[in-house]
Structure 1
Amino acid sequence: MDALFPPDRSLLFPQFETYRLQPLDPDEDVISFPLPGQGATQSRVGYNTHLLSFSEVKSRIEWNHLAAGQGRRGMYVDADWNVIGFQLEDDYQPTFSTIANIRPGPSSEPKRQPEYPSCIQLDNSYWAVADGAGALHLVKTSCAEEPFSGEIERSEGPKSSGVNSDGAESLDSEPFLIQGVRRDGDGKSLALLLSFAHPVGKAQKQLSSSTAFELVEWTIGHLGGSTANGHARLPSHFYGSDLPISVDWSGVQGSQSWTVLSSKQYTEPQAWDAQQSMEIEKKQRENLVDSRKPGLGAKRKRPSPPIFAEAESSQAAVAATTRREGAKIEEMDESAERAGNDDSPYSWTQTADAFTLHLDFPPGTSRQEITISLDDTSLDIVASSMADTDTPLFRFLRRRKRRWFGDIDAGGSTWTYEPKTGVLEFEVVKRDTNIRWPSLFVPSDDDDDDDDDETYDDIPETFDAATLAAVRESFGRIRERNSSEPEGNHPAIPALLREEMDYDLDDDEDFDGGGMMYAESGGGGGGGGHKIGRDVLVGTLTSVGEAKWSKASSTVVSLPMSGDLNDGIMIKSAVDGLLFCPPQSGDPSNRPWSHRTTSPALSFVLGSKRDVRFVKHVIQHSKDAIRTTVMAFDSGAVPGSGNAYIYYPPVDRMTAKQGVVKISGGERGALLGVGQIVVNGKIVVVALCEKELVVLRSVLRD
């Protein structure tokens, strides 16, 4: 786990054993109500009319068609393009109302692939609804004390700043999705973050092997008083190669920006070359498919041997390949050694209970010129003779008192210095053994530190020759699976590790029927491992056109049911799920998030699910603690599925409760969306299926 999400060891459950079943009554805890009209749908693409890129297909599978808001209200667009609003009463009975019809007319049909309709609540009286064909409707609704009704106050046609692949200007009607809402301090001036998809390649044939996605902040002005159309607010639009999985406005001190979770970075147009990105992606995919090495137990196509192959030439080719591989390994070792000595101010290696830190001062530096302070939590080195130099070592020493990644035993640690060579070496004993440190130091919280200084905290560990030799020897002992052995059951793989195996492309584009976010290769069931969660980067996009991104990706296994990132995101750590909340001040892309709660073995139990569409968590605040309940929802599109799996907070250090209840599939249809609504101070989970609205009124425990 990288330094952006540092775990709090006091919140972990190293002795956790199992989940115990919490009985749920389907008749008492779950109630369902038929949808009006033809119900909801996710089938809005005509057969063979448009071909989508993989990123678009994946985002459509993960799209949440239900918009849950305040005032006990929710909204969706049904199969007949009617905007349907509903309001839950005290007995959780929904009252449905048809607000408007937003079916695109023949003149507004876009030439590009239309998007799904999307809704979002702006405030207690206004909602924004996009028809997926290029129109944005502002809907004024009744106050919360009255029955839910409304009408379209005005409509707009937001445009992106993108261009077609042939360099022409954007089309008049551009489909888009509503990703998030920004509310200014007066509560009435709002802006929406919209995403546009731009095909790259043979756009004239509507065949897109790659897609560029553009994020645009669209200001809609003051509600209720102005009828003027909105305008693009961001002076610089941002481009990326994948849609974000979550977007939220961050208005904390020191970070007035959009917080974006995405597998790919979004950058300014000057840094984005869509055509080049497409070619690089295509080349990488071809190389991965043709030459990647499969994991243990994976099938691999063997090329047919040539008919007239000579035994001698085959042996010579094998020998030549072996020599080349050996030379390549030696070259990599030498390159790694040179890289560790040239640009890095220090190098370090570690074992289970200790680590060695190595620094090179200029030869001849006397011992009296170096002051060293070593304690259980930090290291402070001062070199008076290097005050006027500009070297990596001096820039590293410029910041005083660097904090260790974990506690050490200062009393049992030693250091030595050799003035002739300038070599300073520390032998440091870890306080907690059998824990491998991902980095030597914890990044500073000081905003004045430059990027180079933060990089010095994340210098990777240097592996010594003995470790590299052991790795090469272990790979030499690997044998291929025999035809008599079951697939995915290689004897060299521990049983728990098989849940973490991923036989597909390691590029977040695994797709095997389901393509779900939380079980990316699991949609159709079957054997073999599959990947849990989504590897994402944390980015911030400001209104002045700046984009900042985290240095490393992290695996997100759950997003907040409320859609508010202040409720935290669940990060995969080994087999657990750790809830992290954004910092109270500063940039969320480089300031450490705070670890609040832990769902033990969450990643492990999710690994057994094969049809999960959404994984969301609900936060319940009490006087002295935060309770996190994680819910995994089947899509309901596969026979025999349609369950909601509820994982409650731990009861003690060794056990926790889990429940399961049927909510989708069968006559209810597939699951299309989930959300939370507050009724009389109690959080209620609502699920939108194709034919019914399901209310989980008693599954959350106080």
Structure 2
Amino acid sequence: MSNFKSDRALLNPRFEGYKLSPIPQEQAVFHYGLQYKPSQTNVSGRSHVSFQEVQSRISHNHIALCQEDGSAAYIDEELRVVSIKLSEATLEPATRLLFEMPKPILSPDAESPQREYPSAGFLNASSLFVSDGYGSLYVLTIQSTGSAELIGTFELAIPAVYGSSRGVVPFRIHHVAQTAPDAATVILSSKHYREDTPAESNGTSQGGRTQSKGPEFDIWAARFTLPIAPVPDQTRLLDILWHRRGDDVPIYTFHDASRRSFMLVGASYRTIAAGPAPTYVPTPDELAPIPRANENLDGATLNAPQRPPPYSWTQTTDSVTVAIPLPSSTPTDAIRVAFSLRTLTVLVRGAGGAEDPPVPLPRYDMKPLWDHIQSGTSMWTFDRAAERRYGVLTLHLDKAHEGTRWPQVFAAAGATAPVPGSATSDADADTEVPETLDPSELYAIREALEKYTAALQSGEDASGLGLGRGVPSLAQEEMDDELDVSVGRSACVTWVGADGASPAFGHDDDAPLQVLSTSFPGTDAERPSLVVKNGLDGVVYELGAAGSPEDKPEWKHAATYSALAFVLASKRDTRFTYHVSSRAVLAFESGSRDLGGNVYIYRGAPAKEKWAKQAVLKVGGGSAGALLGVTLMKTGPNLEPVILCLCEGGLILLRNVV
């Protein structure tokens, strides 16, 4: 979070809450019927859908907007591409059928990957890229009237070097951008199907049990040379420009022309080596001796002491403590420790005349850490442990990204970019040591759990404060102490050059953020912005323009939505959360239930105000059906902002809202 720094002058600790400022429903919400109705039902029960896929489908926006002429497009349940345009005089929507994609014929006996939602993206007012969700991409040329012309059909063929068990997979379109006068790039995402696992699961079987692995997702950049040669009756392969892989589907993408780079907001996306897999060489500890005749190797090794780890470590929310055993005779001047932002150096000279210790002396020469630290405040101490044979060298590392939990101390091989000048450490340098929990803390936790479970079974007061039995009836099934903490989506910002290279500033924004809202579709043509959780508030960060492609991304704290995380935590059916700069944040419910289908509008307020305005409007649900997509259009002589909401049962326009 190094580039996302809040401005204390824009925070409002005196803020008390939101007051309702009603908007008349009949003056703001307008309903229109749909001839071509969309659907969100496309999940097959034969294949597994991971949590990340479900979350991505819920937040998938089914509307694609063309910011050049203010038109939009969506795909209905019959795979028909439909255009939407608002009348400049009356602001009423008009739909037009552009193209009907062929429906794939799938055999019920064949195992097929889970299909994606159909998606679309505009290059300009006359060029539209459409995906059917089965694995085909169609390039259309839009005429002023009538149907669109099919330029070409493409499919994504995955090269074997990326380790996929399937050659062709469904994908989703995230972004379309013109990166050069004669070139366009389309950003796609697809689920990664590992070669070592069955196509329908992400696990390996051992002893009849399946060990689950987390799903992974591929990000592809497909290159198109402009103008695209029309070959409508032949399926061509996409030209893959670059590739990344991560643990989640991007929640926001943006092409920064000033930096000649793409910004991916989601997981931390990494490159995959395209070379052959390295040959595994077992270590001496992994080599088992071959028994001779009448030789019992079990008896010789049964009572052998287990080799201790080279160090032990533990962590808190803001620090990591590493303990390294050293001979107590080691002089202090023989210990050299150096901290940097991303590396650790520990070099110890052996004491003269000392016996060889059972564990080797540590040697970490600019060893990459798992995450960044604050080198200026990190320190080390050496305790000789009185008359004991071994002392403890303790390293106190202050985390640069407070709240980030480290899975290990050092970066795994290939997990981070190599640090110039780094050297390979000696034995035990790459040993992965699990985190150690202090025994006294473990005992206290166990005691507290035993008391708590006993109190729940007996109905006694679990707090020990004499508050009575059980919980108040109004609070039953409503208590969630971590509700405000978990609101939003954890994401990282990954930069990829238009040509696939990693920019020099590529690792500056790789710390996780808690994203509460992204720019409203239709408002991020020039500069994107994110609303990031800061305590209970939502801080609006705007990306500044670059003077040259080498300029580092600068995120400016532009405004604050006070207590936004707190109010959003109570919305359990939220599908989309978008903001319009510092004017308003809009949280849309899905409306798939009998109740709900509202949009909650939270207005921005000056830093000194104690109250801000909020409003609630009914959008989806009921006869309108579930909400599938939203976008913001500016039309008419005064470029009036109109929010277009696509529901399963119709179109809804919101006017005079932002």
TM-score bracket for this pair, using the shorter chain length? 0.5 to 0.7
**Which residue in the other structure is 2:435 paired with?**
none
**Which residue in the other structure is 1:617 paired with?**
579
**Aligned match for 1:259, one of 263, 276, 287:** 263
**Which residue in the other structure is 2:627 paired with?**
671
- For residues 100 and 570 of structure 1, what CA distance do their matches in structure 2 show? 37
Alignment of structure 1 residues 131-170 onto 2, 5 Å = 131-143=132-144, 149-163=146-160, 170=167
In the alignment, structure 2 segments of 5+ residues that lack a partner are 204-213, 281-310, 326-331, 341-345, 347-364, 367-373, 378-398, 403-417, 422-437, 466-476
Q: CA deviation at 1:193?
A: 1.1
Alignment of structure 1 residues 547-696 onto 2, 5 Å = 547=502, 548-549=506-507, 550-562=509-521, 564=524, 566-585=527-546, 591-619=553-581, 627-650=582-605, 652-680=608-636, 681-696=639-654
Alignment of structure 1 residues 111-510 onto 2, 5 Å = 111-143=112-144, 149-163=146-160, 170-171=167-168, 174-186=169-181, 189-200=183-194, 206-209=200-203, 210-223=214-227, 227=231, 232=238, 234-253=240-259, 256-270=260-274, 332=314, 336=322, 345=338, 480=452, 482-483=455-456
In the alignment, structure 1 segments of 5+ residues that lack a partner are 277-328, 348-359, 361-390, 393-401, 406-435, 440-449, 454-467, 493-524, 620-626
Instruction: Give the alignment's TM-score, normalised by structure 1.
Output: 0.62
Tell me the secondary structure at the aligned position of residue 139 of structure 1. Answer: strand
CA contact 2:586–2:601 (8 Å) conserved in 1 = yes
Q: CA deviation at 1:154?
A: 1.7
Q: CA deviation at 1:249?
A: 1.3
**Aligned match for 1:546, one of 488, 501, 504:** 501
Q: CA deviation at 1:580?
A: 0.9
**Cα gap change, 1:25 to 1:686, in 2 (>3 Å):** same
Q: Deviations over 1:554-604 (max 9, x none)?
A: 110101112638230110000011111224337899744211111111001
**Which residue in the other structure is 2:35 paired with?**
36
Q: CA deviation at 1:533?
A: 0.7
**Cα gap change, 1:200 to 1:268, in 2 (>3 Å):** closer
Tell me the secondary structure at the aligned position of residue 26 of structure 2. Answer: helix
Amino acid at match of 2:614: Q
Alignment of structure 1 residues 521-532 onto 2, 5 Å = 528=480, 529-530=482-483, 531-532=486-487
Tell me the secondary structure at the aligned position of residue 57 of structure 1. Answer: helix
Tell me the secondary structure at the aligned position of residue 673 of structure 1. Answer: strand
- For residues 460 and 241 of structure 2, what CA distance do their matches in structure 1 show? 53
Amino acid at match of 1:601: A
**Which residue in the other structure is 1:16 paired with?**
15
Q: Deviations over 1:86-131 (max 9, x none)?
A: 1111322101111111132328999322211101111021211111
Q: Deviations over 1:609-641 (max 9, x none)?
A: 11111111113xxxxxxx331000111112211
- For residues 570 and 97 of structure 1, what CA distance do their matches in structure 2 show? 35
Percent identical: 25
CA contact 2:491–2:515 (8 Å) conserved in 1 = yes
**Which residue in the other structure is 2:433 paired with?**
none
Q: CA deviation at 1:211?
A: 3.6
Tell me the secondary structure at the aligned position of residue 243 of structure 1. Answer: coil
**Which residue in the other structure is 1:319 paired with?**
none
**Which residue in the other structure is 2:411 paired with?**
none
**Cα gap change, 1:562 to 1:330, in 2 (>3 Å):** closer
**Which residue in the other structure is 1:387 paired with?**
none
**Cα gap change, 1:96 to 1:165, in 2 (>3 Å):** same
Q: Deviations over 1:218-274 (max 9, x none)?
A: 122214765598765555422223211111112224xx221111134332244999x
Q: Deviations over 1:351-402 (max 9, x none)?
A: xxxxxxxxx9xxxxxxxxxxxxxxxxxxxxxxxxxxxxxx98xxxxxxxxx9
Amino acid at match of 1:252: S
CA contact 1:34–1:692 (8 Å) conserved in 2 = yes
Tell me the secondary structure at the aligned position of residue 27 of structure 1. Answer: helix
- For residues 181 and 335 of structure 1, what CA distance do their matches in structure 2 show? 46
Instruction: Give the alignment's TM-score, normalised by structure 2.
Output: 0.65
Amino acid at match of 2:185: A
CA contact 1:686–1:693 (8 Å) conserved in 2 = yes
Root-mean-square deviation (CA, aligned residues, Å) is 4.7
- For residues 657 and 272 of structure 1, what CA distance do their matches in structure 2 show? 59
Amino acid at match of 2:189: S
**Cα gap change, 1:540 to 1:642, in 2 (>3 Å):** same
